[in-house]
Amino acid sequence: MAVRTWPSLDSTVTPALTAQPKLQDYLDDIVASDLTVSWEPAGTWHRVHGDGKSSTGGRFFTQTILGSDGKYQARVRQGKNVVKLVDFDKSEPTNQELVDKLQK
């Protein structure tokens, strides 16, 4: 009986699959026209949809809030950690303004 051998898993995994996504890569890939952003109800953090979080395996995601003080904010989280926080003036930002500020 012939013994069949299989290549080790390490030899078949490409570096692109094992590399951890970086914050700037996630931010650079966000397209404003793909976003669904919610600011209401005020005082609650809302997840942004269409931000490409799936391309990072959910490692990074964006949330928005309209504070009770009327201040608009967005944050990028990595798990439980906030890795970026941006503030806006008292007017609701457009999707493009949101992306521009996050990418700075």
Domain boundaries, the chain: 12-103
The residue with greater pLDDT, 6 or 58, is: 58
pTM, to two decimals? 0.78
**Banded pLDDT at 57 (limits 50, 70, 90):** confident
Q: Span 34-55, mean pLDDT?
A: 94
**Banded pLDDT at 53 (limits 50, 70, 90):** confident
Q: What are the residue ranges of helices labelled H in the chain? A: 9-12, 15-18, 23-28, 95-103
Q: Where are the beta strands (DSSP E) in 1-104?
A: 46-47, 60-66, 72-78, 81-88
